[in-house]
Structure 1
Amino acid sequence: MKLGLSSYSFRPLMENGSMQIEDVFVWLEAHGAEHLEIATLSVAPPGADMSYELRDDAEMLGRIRAASGKTGIPVSGICIGANFIGTDPADRRAQIDRVKGYVDLCSDMEVGFLRHDVVHWGNRSADTPEFEREFAGIAEACHEIASHAHSRGVTTSVEDHGFFMNSSERIKRLLHAVGLPSFKLTVDVGNFLCVDEDPLMGTRASIAHASFVHFKDFYVRRNEPGPGWLKTYGGQFIRGSVFGYGDLETHAIAEAVVASGYDGFVSLEYEGNEPTLFGCETGLNNIRRILAEVKR
């Protein structure tokens, strides 16, 4: 496995200007990371994260290429939002074409993996009737994008992300409906908690279909501890932690990933309240240590 980080992990420092994208690559090189996964919203100008389009930002793309070349840290994948429901046909077509444009960007940058959402992250209307009503259209959009990706040598994926397209059952159902080898799963070992699925069980159920893996950890509480906690679909409360500090069964999850034979990119996605660089460094070291322990 190749261990690295998502640029999302550095988002607080990039937002306040204390780190630039070049600093992220330098940090990764200094800490022995092997890749950087780009979450486009994390490199957006302050206040523009939801409307920002990396593919249209020639200056930022040039800086990323230069920093990658200088440090030898490759860009492993790109993560973008997308929404294929609740829009008129013209907007839906624009969304599909937009994602296909990111496939082209990945191919041009020699980046092999694109993770795209299928609905807005915060869409909580995940009851079965709406999901069933929208599912075929989501699968059709993903199929069209993945077909294009195959022609460009890119693998697309959907992640257990947010509330609507989450749970190992739903993401695998979409995987099988699309039915193309260029469409797989980004398995985020922690995000299953958003819909109250046990992270270890969700990882075990989906890891065989992974093209990319995110490691993260959460604190989990039954009752709301105070501000800054995310309410899950079923009413629990979670907050990001340093990997290895939270309530996930990190050893068992790492063991499941190793036992599956997965040998691709692993990104630490740190989103806790502890200082950013402490969380990134400690989490990366904990992943290394835990993987070494489970491989013995």
Structure 2
Amino acid sequence: MDTGRRGILKAAGLALLTGGLNCSSTQAMEPVSRNPGKRIKLSIAAYSFRNELKAEPPQMTLHEGFIDIAVREGLDAIEPTSYYFPEPVTPEYILRLKQRAFLEGLDISGTAIGNTFTYPPGPDRDKQLELTRTWVDHAALLGAPCIRVFAGRIQPGDDIEKARAYCIETLEVACDYAGTKGVYLALENHGGIVDTADNMLPIVRAVKSPWFGVNLDGGNFTSEDPYKDLAIMAPYAVNVQVKAQINPGGKGKVPADLKKVMSIIKDSGYRGYVALEYEADEPALVGVPKYLAQLRELVD
């Protein structure tokens, strides 16, 4: 069997035709297999406007304001991050958001949850899996093809090997469910046990699910050479986000070389969404349009 992602997906399709989709795989993840050629679509993460969304009273909502900015900036998609959905999250709200995005010509590039997957078997892990399943259901209803998830930090009394093993176990259980809904779980390089490519790659390579991949964050690696780490992990990406800043060696944030980041993404053969997740000091309503303009030039 082809060990690339295309071979895995062909096998999954065959299983569906012959009696049901088995969302597990006996193969570890290989770099994603894609057709050649450029196909990058720009999105914006709602987290970019966290201050406006969480202000009292809110200066915008996902439905009003956030979508309008995406339209004004000529984007292809939005990422309505889970933190900014009104509680309780209802099917009616999800469908209203989906409807508005569709009528404005916007895709839903994905969403994100604030999970931790480094717990041992027990109530804490069960709680994280329940959170994930809930948002898989929400994502499927919303039409979001992907949820970016975190690994987490080493729990007290554990070491990194144990934390990795727990993370892999939890990811595989979560991906089994996500696959039944047609939703990818994309592990983000987000500190903790995935702060460098050396720490992240063993986890990524070990997860055996065709519904798993990497959410490559252009600003989160804290190795001495984050660009090298991005190049290592880019072939496994099913979703990408870029930031205005990068943090070499964990010594402090400096402006990111967006041209270099985008070259790495393109050279990997990536096709799909690239979302800006803006975290710089300048207010988002001012800074986001500037960085989107830079990204647009680099994508075109």
Question: TM-score with structure 1 length normalisation?
Answer: 0.79
CA distance 1:87–1:142, change in 2 (3 Å):
closer
- Asked if the contact 1:156–1:184 (Cα under 8 Å) also holds between the matched residues in 2, the reply is yes
| TM-aligned CA deviation for residue 219 of structure 1 | 6.4
Which deviations, in whole Å up to 9, do the C-alpha atoms of 1:234-258 show, x marking residues without a partner?
A: 65122xxxxxxx5323212211111
Tell me what 1:155 maps to.
184
Tell me what 2:252 maps to.
237
Tell me what 1:77 maps to.
110
Q: Distance in 2 between matches of 1:163 and 1:90?
A: 21
Tell me what 2:101 maps to.
68
Tell me what 2:44 maps to.
5
**3-state SS of the aligned residue for 1:186?**
strand
CA distance 1:257–1:81, change in 2 (3 Å):
same
Question: What letter corresponds to residue 264 of structure 1 in structure 2?
Answer: G
- Asked if the contact 2:155–2:163 (Cα under 8 Å) also holds between the matched residues in 1, the reply is no
Tell me what 1:206 maps to.
233
Question: What letter corresponds to residue 158 of structure 1 in structure 2?
Answer: L
- Asked if the contact 2:150–2:189 (Cα under 8 Å) also holds between the matched residues in 1, the reply is no
The reply to whether residue 281 of structure 1 matches residue 296 of structure 2 is: no
Q: Distance in 1 between matches of 2:115 and 2:275?
A: 21
**3-state SS of the aligned residue for 2:213?**
strand
**3-state SS of the aligned residue for 1:158?**
strand
Deviates more, 1:100-109 or 1:182-191: 100-109
For 1:160-175, list aligned pairs within 5 A: 160-175=189-204
Q: Distance in 2 between matches of 1:268 and 1:135?
A: 28
The reply to whether residue 218 of structure 1 matches residue 218 of structure 2 is: no
| TM-aligned CA deviation for residue 136 of structure 1 | 1.3
Alignment counterpart, residue 24 of structure 1, candidates 58, 66, 69: 66
Q: Distance in 1 between matches of 2:160 and 2:115?
A: 16
CA distance 1:44–1:103, change in 2 (3 Å):
closer
Cα RMSD between the aligned structures?
A: 2.5
| TM-aligned CA deviation for residue 165 of structure 1 | 2.5
Question: What letter corresponds to residue 34 of structure 1 in structure 2?
Answer: D
- Asked if the contact 1:4–1:267 (Cα under 8 Å) also holds between the matched residues in 2, the reply is yes
| TM-aligned CA deviation for residue 151 of structure 1 | 2.1
CA distance 1:126–1:169, change in 2 (3 Å):
farther
CA distance 1:269–1:97, change in 2 (3 Å):
same
Tell me what 2:277 maps to.
269
**3-state SS of the aligned residue for 1:237?**
coil
| TM-aligned CA deviation for residue 40 of structure 1 | 1.6
Q: Distance in 2 between matches of 1:112 and 1:200?
A: 27
| Structure with greater contact order relative to length (CA < 8 Å, sep ≥ 6) | 2
Alignment counterpart, residue 136 of structure 2, candidates 103, 119, 142: 103
Alignment counterpart, residue 299 of structure 2, candidates 282, 291, 296: 291
Deviates more, 1:153-162 or 1:102-111: 102-111
| TM-aligned CA deviation for residue 19 of structure 1 | 1.6
- Asked if the contact 1:13–1:19 (Cα under 8 Å) also holds between the matched residues in 2, the reply is yes
Tell me what 2:8 maps to.
none
Alignment counterpart, residue 91 of structure 1, candidates 124, 127, 135: 124
- Asked if the contact 1:255–1:291 (Cα under 8 Å) also holds between the matched residues in 2, the reply is no
CA distance 1:219–1:173, change in 2 (3 Å):
closer
| TM-aligned CA deviation for residue 209 of structure 1 | 0.4
Identity %: 25
